[in-house]
Amino acid sequence: METTSTCPNCGHTVAVYRNPFPTTDIVVIRDEKVLLIKRRNPPPGWALPGGFIDYGESAEAAAARELGEETGLHANKLRLLGVYSEPGRDPRFHTLTVAYLAEAEGDLMPGDDASEAKWFPVDRLPEPIAFDHRQIITDALKVPH
């Protein structure tokens, strides 16, 4: 969707585009447990490690960076799971996420936007699960590990 606005510097009319915000999420499953973080910021709940893709950054690099920032773990063997773009998936604004499956190594330590990071049995996930992450986890469980 395009609208117009007046440039505050030069006074010309410029196009303003409203596009979804690109994000990434990473699913790490180990021993029938999935890694989740408890969100420090709204919206509340448990979520997959992930976040916004920075300008000039690939989705893969963003997924690995977010995993490290939020859990202290290092991602390896990233595999594309899918793209999730339902306009209402994030209550704040329209986002689309590129979701990955990965393996991870290192010492689990929550950080950045995560107040906690824990492994949960895939058949006993906590409540609430933020965004559409329950669906992403369900889809990840269908993929051979």
User: Which positions are annotated as active-site residues?
Assistant: 116
How many residues in total does the chain contain?
145
Cα–Cα distances (Å) from 39 to 5, 13, 36, 128, 133, in that order, read 35, 40, 9, 11, 13
127: CB partners within 8 A, 6+ apart: 45, 46
- Residue 35, exposed/middle/buried by CB under 10 A (0-12, 13-18, 19+)? buried
- The amino acid sitting at 78 is L
